[in-house]
Chain A
Amino acid sequence: MNVTAAGVAESPPPLTVALLGNPNTGKSTLFSALAGIPTRVGNYPGVTVEEKVGRFVHAGRPIDLVDLPGTYSLAPKSPDEKVAVDLLRGRLAGMPAPDRVVIVVDATNLERNLYLASQVIEIGLPTVIALTLGDAAADRGIEVDAAELTRRLGCEVVPVVAPRRQGIPRLADAILAAVPPRQPEGLAAALAAVDPAQPPTAREAIGRYAWIERVIEGVVRRRPVARTIDDRIDAVVTHRVWGTFLFALTMLAVFTSIFWLSAPLMEGISFGVDTVAEVVRGLLPEGAVRSLVVDGVIAGAGSVVVFVPQIALLFFWIALLEGCGYLSRAAFLMDRLLVGVGLSGKSFIPLLSSFACAIPGIMAARTIENPRDRLLTILLAPLMSCSARLPVYLLMCSAFVPNVPLAGIPWLRLPALVLASLYALGVIVAALAAFVLTRTVFRGPPQPFVMELPGWRWPQPRIVLERVREATWSFLSGAGTTILAMSVVLWALSHYPRDEAAVEAEVASERTNLRARLEGEADEATVADLAAALGALDTPEGLDAARRGAAQRRSFLGLAGRFIEPVVRPLGWDWRLGCAAIASFPAREVVLGTLGVIYNLGDVDAGSEEGGTVLVRRLRSATWDGSRRKVFTLPVALSIMVFFALCAQCASTLVVIGRETGSWVWPLASFSAMTVLAWLGALVTYQVGTFLGG
C-alpha cells in the first residue's frame, strides 16, 4: 500500500466504467443498484445530452460508473447515441476512453440486444455483460445459459436482477477482473459471408444477425407458454376502442394532476414565500435594500420554486409510464395525429402538459430522442394556453363578454365559446407554425420513427423517485438560478428611477382628475365606481396603492409601456395596457396582479371573488387619458386575450427553452416570433371586432 508522507493511505486511482445498452433494458435500475444516487449530473461538453456519473467502491477500488445514453447500435442516429459511441471510442473531448465497459443485455430480447453487444466487444475494451430481466424472461418461458453465452462471446456474462440486487456483487467482481475480450468466434467469417449483392448498409446487419442466430442456438431455451401476459395486456392497450379509452383516462389523470393537484402545493409554496417575505420585511428598515430583498430576491426565488410541483408531478407520471412500458404505447396511439404537422407521437405528452404549464412540458420533451422533433416540440409548447393565461381569459370574459346564450341553447353561452376558441387558437397556430417550420427551417430527410414497444413490467419506485429528483434538481440548479437573476433585474427595471416628488404629484393629479370626472358624470354605475376610487385615495392602503401604481408607471418598465404606446394603439390599448403587457414579462401568472398595481389597486388577489370584482370595476371605469372614452370594450378585451394566448411574455419559459436547447438563439427567436404573432392576432381581432361592432 502506498503511504504518503502524511501517513494517509493513498487510494488507487478510480476506474472509469462505461454502462452501455439498448434503451428499455433496465439500465437505470442497474446503475442505481451498482452506484446508488449519481454523484455528478451534468451535460457533455457542447451538447445537451445529459452526463450521469456515480462513484462506488468495490474491493477497495473506487469506480466511476458513467451512464451512457441508450443506443441500438454503434452507427449513431441521434446526438444521444453519438455521445455514447464517441465516449466509448475515446473521441469525446476531454474524456479518455473508459477502462471497462458493462453492456446491459435484456434476457427477454437477447437477439436484438446482442447486435450492439457484438459491436462493442469488437472494440476490444475489457468488457462484462450484465444479463438483466432474467425474471421477466422466465415468465415468458425463456431461459438463457449464461455460462455457455460467456464461452461463445468471449467475455463474462453475469445474470443480475437489479431491483433485488441479485448478482450485483458478482458483477462488480467481474468488472474489476475484466480483460480485453478476444474477437468473437465466427463473427468476422459471418460478416464476410454476406451476399455482396446486398446493399452495403444491409450487409453489416445481415452478417451480425446471422452470427447472433448461431450464438443463441442452444443458449436460449424456450418452453412453450400459453398466451403471455404481455400479449394479453397489449391486446387491450393497443385496441382500437379499449386502448383509446384507456389512453384518454391516463392522459386525463396526468393532466388533472399537473393542472389541479399541483394547485394546492403551489399555493402552499406561495404562502410560505409570502410568510418569509413578511418576516424579512419586518426585519429590514424601509428602503431600496428591503425592496430588493423582499420584492426582488425572495419573490424571484418564489417564482422559481412555484414551478416545482408541476415539474415533479409530470416527471413522476413520465417515469411511471416509461417504467411500465406505456410511454411508447402512448406515442404509438397518438402518432398519426401528429404526423400531419411533421411531428411524432412522442410529442403528445409534452404538448399536452403545456396546457398546464409550458415549463414542465418543455422539460418533458427530453423523452423525444429525435433532435429535430424535440426542438420543434419545445418551440410549439408555449403556444398551448397554459394555466397562467386562464385567469386573464376568465377575468376578461366575465367582465367584457356579454353572457348571452348562443343559437338559443341556454347552456351554451358566448363567454364559454370565447374561452374554447382561445384554447383552439393556440393549437391551430401551433399546427400552422409546425407546418411552416418543417418546410423551411427544419426541412430535411424524414426522421426514422422505428420505436420499440418494450415488454410490460412493474415500474421501479426507486427509479421513479430518482427521475423526479433529477428533473426537479436540473430545473432548480440550471434554469432556476437564471430565472432568479432575471427576476432581480426586472425588479430593478420596475422600481427605478425613483422620484418621490413626481409620484406625489401624479397621485395629486389623479385625485383632481377623478373629481373632475365625477362632477360631469351622469351614469349611475360609473359615478359609484369613480366615487369608490376617489374614496380609496383617502384611506392609507388606497394611498399606498396609488403611490405604488404611480411609481411603477414611472419606472423603466412603465416608461417602456409609454414608449410602445404607438405600437399598441392599433390593438385598441392605452399605454397602461402596454405597461401591463410589458410588466407581465417576469411571470405571466402575475399579469392580473400587475394590472391591479397599474390601476392603483395595490396587491389585489384577482383570483378571489372579491379581488376579481374590485379589479373588474376598476377596469370598467378606466378611460383614455383626458377623455371620457372607455378603454375596455369587447374588441379590446378580445384583443388582449388573443395577445396573451399567442405571446411569449413569460421570462421563465424563455429561460427553460434556452436551458433545454443549450442556446440563446431559440428563446430569442421564439420570443420575437411569438410577439409578432400575438401582435398581429390582436390587431386583426381588434380591427375586425371594431369594424363589425361599429
Chain B
Amino acid sequence: MTSLKEVAIGSTAKVELITGSDPTSERLLEMGITPGVLVTVIGAAPLGCPLELEVRGYRLSIRRSDAARVTVFPSVGLRSTWAGDTSVRRPLPR
C-alpha cells in the first residue's frame, strides 16, 4: 500500500481509495480524486510542501499530510494527462 505522498515527482499513480470522511476527504473526492482516476505529481513547493498535482486535466495543490489519505496503486509510469499530452514530461532539474 502506497499513499500519494510517497509518489515520486513526475510520476503518475492510479487512486485506489480515499480514507477518512471529514470535510478534507470529501473535498478531495469532489475535486475529482476518486478511486480509479490517474493523478500525476507535478512538483512540490520550494519548502517541500504542498504538492502540485494534475488530475482530470487540471492542476490542484494539496498538503503532504492530506496526500497521505489518498491510497494509490504502484506507479504506472511517467505520463501526463494534461491536454492529451502524451509526451513524457520531465520535471525541470532542481
Query: CB within 8 Å of B: which residues of A?
Result: 72-73, 75, 77, 108-109, 111-112, 115, 140-142, 198-202, 204-206, 209, 222-228, 230-231, 234-236, 238-241, 243-244, 328, 332-333, 335-337, 339, 345, 445-455
> Considering only CB atoms, which chain B residue lies closest to A140 in the complex?
B83
Among B34, B42, B49, point to the contact of A205 (Cβ < 8 A).
Answer: B34
Assuming the contacts A141-B84, A238-B45, A450-B24, asked whether A205 and B61 have C-beta atoms less than 8 A apart, the reply is no
Among B30, B62, B83, point to the contact of A222 (Cβ < 8 A).
Answer: B83
A224 contacts B86, CB within 8 Å?
yes
Q: How far, in whole Å, are A72 and B62 apart by their CA atoms in the complex?
A: 16
Assuming the contacts A226-B87, A238-B45, A455-B58, asked whether A75 and B52 have C-beta atoms less than 8 A apart, the reply is no
A199 contacts B21, CB within 8 Å?
yes
Q: Does B57 contact A (CB under 8 A)?
A: yes
B83 contacts A115, CB within 8 Å?
no
B37 contacts A209, CB within 8 Å?
yes
A448 contacts B23, CB within 8 Å?
yes
Contact residues on B (Cβ < 8 Å of other chain), bracket: 35 or more
B34 contacts A73, CB within 8 Å?
no
B86 contacts A109, CB within 8 Å?
no
A215 CB → nearest B CB, Å: 13
A227 contacts B89, CB within 8 Å?
yes
B59 CB → nearest A CB, Å: 4
Assuming the contacts A222-B83, A446-B24, asked whether A239 and B59 have C-beta atoms less than 8 A apart, the reply is no
In the complex, chain B residues whose CB is within 8 Å of the CB of A230: 59, 82
In the complex, chain B residues whose CB is within 8 Å of the CB of A206: 29, 34-35
Most chain A CB atoms below 10 A, which of B42, B61, B86: B61
Among B24, B35, B61, B91, point to the contact of A332 (Cβ < 8 A).
Answer: B61
Q: How far, in whole Å, are A335 and B64 apart by their CA atoms in the complex?
A: 11
A240 contacts B46, CB within 8 Å?
yes
B27 contacts A451, CB within 8 Å?
no
Most chain A CB atoms below 10 A, which of B27, B30, B31: B30
Q: How far, in whole Å, are A72 and B94 apart by their CA atoms in the complex?
A: 33
Assuming the contacts A140-B83, A202-B18, A450-B27, asked whether A109 and B92 have C-beta atoms less than 8 A apart, the reply is no
In the complex, chain B residues whose CB is within 8 Å of the CB of A448: 23-24, 27-28, 66
B45 contacts A336, CB within 8 Å?
yes
Q: Does B25 contact A (CB under 8 A)?
A: yes
Q: How far, in whole Å, are A108 and B56 apart by their CA atoms in the complex?
A: 10
B residues 1-39 near A (Cβ < 8 Å) are: 18, 21-32, 34-35, 37
In the complex, chain A residues whose CB is within 8 Å of the CB of B57: 108-109, 111, 142
A335 contacts B60, CB within 8 Å?
no
Assuming the contacts A202-B34, A335-B50, A337-B47, asked whether A231 and B85 have C-beta atoms less than 8 A apart, the reply is yes
> Considering only CB atoms, which chain A residue lies closest to B18 in the complex?
A202
Q: How far, in whole Å, are A244 and B24 apart by their CA atoms in the complex?
A: 28
A228 contacts B82, CB within 8 Å?
yes
In the complex, chain A residues whose CB is within 8 Å of the CB of B94: 239-241
A225 contacts B83, CB within 8 Å?
yes
> Can you list 8 residue pairs at the A/B interface with Cβ under 8 Å?
A72-B31, A75-B30, A112-B31, A142-B83, A209-B56, A224-B85, A230-B82, A235-B91
Q: How far, in whole Å, are A224 and B26 apart by their CA atoms in the complex?
A: 33
In the complex, chain B residues whose CB is within 8 Å of the CB of A108: 57-58
A238 contacts B49, CB within 8 Å?
no
> Considering only CB atoms, which chain B residue lies closest to A247 in the complex?
B46
B14 CB → nearest A CB, Å: 14
B43 contacts A238, CB within 8 Å?
yes
Q: How far, in whole Å, are A111 and B21 apart by their CA atoms in the complex?
A: 23
Among A238, A333, A450, A455, point to the contact of B60 (Cβ < 8 A).
Answer: A450
In the complex, chain B residues whose CB is within 8 Å of the CB of A75: 26, 30
Q: How far, in whole Å, are A112 and B62 apart by their CA atoms in the complex?
A: 16
Q: How far, in whole Å, are A325 and B52 apart by their CA atoms in the complex?
A: 14
In the complex, chain A residues whose CB is within 8 Å of the CB of B65: 446
Q: How far, in whole Å, are A238 and B57 apart by their CA atoms in the complex?
A: 18
Among B37, B45, B60, B84, point to the contact of A224 (Cβ < 8 A).
Answer: B84
Q: How far, in whole Å, are A335 and B56 apart by their CA atoms in the complex?
A: 24
B70 CB → nearest A CB, Å: 11
A209 contacts B24, CB within 8 Å?
no
Q: How far, in whole Å, are A198 and B85 apart by their CA atoms in the complex?
A: 32
Q: How far, in whole Å, are A589 and B74 apart by their CA atoms in the complex?
A: 60
In the complex, chain A residues whose CB is within 8 Å of the CB of B35: 198, 202, 206
In the complex, chain A residues whose CB is within 8 Å of the CB of B18: 202
Q: How far, in whole Å, are A238 and B92 apart by their CA atoms in the complex?
A: 10
Q: How far, in whole Å, are A302 and B54 apart by their CA atoms in the complex?
A: 50
In the complex, chain A residues whose CB is within 8 Å of the CB of B45: 238, 332-333, 335-336
A454 CB → nearest B CB, Å: 8
B59 contacts A452, CB within 8 Å?
yes
B47 CB → nearest A CB, Å: 4
A286 CB → nearest B CB, Å: 63
Q: How far, in whole Å, are A400 and B56 apart by their CA atoms in the complex?
A: 63
In the complex, chain A residues whose CB is within 8 Å of the CB of B22: 445
B23 contacts A222, CB within 8 Å?
no
B24 CB → nearest A CB, Å: 4
In the complex, chain A residues whose CB is within 8 Å of the CB of B32: 111-112, 115, 205, 209
A122 CB → nearest B CB, Å: 15
